[in-house]
Structure 1
Amino acid sequence: MRRLVALALIALAPACSKSEDKPLPPPLDGQLEPVPNPHGTVTPLPDPEMQEGSVGRAPRRITVAQLDTSIRTVVGRGWECPANAPSSCVDLADVAPSLGKADFANVSTENTEANLVFAKFLEDGARDVCMAQATAELTVTDPNARVLTRTVPTLTGTAGNLTQLSDAQVTELLTYLSTRFWGAPLSGEELPKWKNFFTQAAARAETIKKRDQAFAAMCIAMMTDSRFLTY
């Protein structure tokens, strides 16, 4: 029995060898030969709808040095105490360690986490910087020399009544400010919300006879927005 099985295997061996050595048929005209993927397995990108509309790395918070440069560039002045400021005044240099700046003695890596401490100090700084700049612009007659109120023709007298600004003028102001602070103009559903915010701030400012506070409120809101702090 074993002899019969051995003979059968010997008889089948040439047939298997012939079938394995048989060449493949030539490719048809217009048919490309398959090429193996040199990159191996590629992980697909996540669905934007599952990532709040974005794909890629998470936003990063700017450093203290970048924050200082951004405030000076956008608002026109730095976060610093004036010469005649009271001793309780706190500027960016005072709170820089709390905002994550490394001292290279105890901390060698800057912390760029957008935590509650950062948000609290930034809100205080934004209030000081924005109020000072908005107040200073009340006495500047040349619109091109102003920063927060550049698109408003005048800020004095009855002609400067903020509640009398047309819808087009409010849109122009918000488009200018959002582009200045965030690098992109307000649009879509956000624009009416910010217009309503400015309208309320303007009405309040006219009631208390302090027009600078309307622009300071816009400045504070845009500076504390995540679009000003992340990239």
Structure 2
Amino acid sequence: MRRWLMTAALLALSTGCNKTPEEKVGPTVDGQLEPVANPHQPGDFGELPDPEAQNGSVGRAARRLTVSQLDAAILEAVGRRWVNGSDGIDARATSLGRADFALVSSENTEPNLVFAKFLEDGARFVCIAQAADELKQADPTKRTLSRTLPGTWGDLRTLTDAQVREFLVYNSLRFWGAPLEGDELTKWAGFFTQAATRAETANPKRRADVLAVMCIAMLTDQRFITY
């Protein structure tokens, strides 16, 4: 009997010595956390969209301004509302997408051709009127679009390249919230110079047309009507 007990004890010791470190169970240490397996496996996450295929954006698609937002944006950027009787923004609100809650219960914010047509009409009205008023205003601080131009501005062809670029950066910030820069700023500067040359050649009395043209171009740009 004693020999059998000794044999059993030796077998138990030899079994414990042959266990690998993973098989050995040590005493539990207070405060020690057991390892948790990573639930995520390779391939669980899809690849991000290609920015080049989405105009540099990987987020949500751009949204068009509502009629109320457009009204406020024009007033802020240009300095006056689009109010022109039967052709103003209030009269064209339904065509621009505002819900009438009779036949249409939700506002349409799709950038369609009807919206683009009426927006161009509105841009012409507010920009031409504002440019004409600013041409008569000698105090730059009381002007909106031409605040960076000299107190009394005449032939805009005499502006330096730095003045033209300052004007464009200032207005791009007003209209889009982002400044023109790089090659795009150079192209817009060329556009400004071309408009100034044509206006001066056609009729010096219509110098305000240069300011109006730049205003219309920025107001009808997609960066103005989307966010």
State the TM-score bracket (shorter-chain normalisation): 0.7 to 0.9
Out of 43, 51, 62, which is 2:65 matched to?
62
Question: Which residue pairs with 1:202 in the alignment?
Answer: 196
| C-alpha distance in structure 1 between counterparts of 2:76 and 2:134, whole Å | 16
**Structure 1: runs of 5+ lacking an equivalent:** 1-21, 27-31
| C-alpha distance in structure 2 between counterparts of 1:50 and 1:139, whole Å | 47
Out of 159, 183, 186, which is 1:192 matched to?
186
Would you say 1:146 and 2:149 are equivalent positions? no
Alpha-carbon RMSD across the aligned residues, in angstroms, is: 2.3
Would you say 1:105 and 2:99 are equivalent positions? no
| C-alpha distance in structure 2 between counterparts of 1:120 and 1:77, whole Å | 20
| Kept in 2: contact 1:79–1:92 (CA 8 A) | yes
Could you say if the C-alpha distance between residues 25 and 78 of structure 1 is closer, same or farther in structure 2, counting changes exceeding 3 Å? farther
Would you say 1:218 and 2:214 are equivalent positions? yes
1:1-231 equivalences in 2 (<5 Å): 24=22, 33=35, 35-37=37-39, 41-81=44-84, 90-156=87-153, 160-207=154-201, 208-209=203-204, 210-231=206-227
| C-alpha distance in structure 1 between counterparts of 2:152 and 2:163, whole Å | 14
1:40-94 CA-to-partner distances (Å, cap 9, x unmatched) read 933231121232211011100010000000001111100002xxx7xxx511011
TM-score with structure 1 setting the length: 0.79
Shift of 1:34: 5.6
Shift of 1:35: 2.5
1:126-166 CA-to-partner distances (Å, cap 9, x unmatched) read 0000000000111111001101111111345xxx2200000
| C-alpha distance in structure 2 between counterparts of 1:25 and 1:174, whole Å | 74
Question: Which residue pairs with 1:3 in the alignment?
Answer: none
| C-alpha distance in structure 1 between counterparts of 2:63 and 2:134, whole Å | 33
TM-score with structure 2 setting the length: 0.81
For these two proteins, the number of residue pairs brought into alignment is: 197
| C-alpha distance in structure 2 between counterparts of 1:25 and 1:42, whole Å | 35
**Structure 2: runs of 5+ lacking an equivalent:** 1-19, 25-33
| C-alpha distance in structure 2 between counterparts of 1:202 and 1:47, whole Å | 41
1:192-212 CA-to-partner distances (Å, cap 9, x unmatched) read 110011001111222211111
SS of 2:90's equivalent in the other structure is: helix
Structure showing greater radius of gyration is: 2
Shift of 1:23: 8.6
* Identity in percent: 58
Greater alpha carbon shift after TM alignment, 140-149 vs 33-42: 33-42
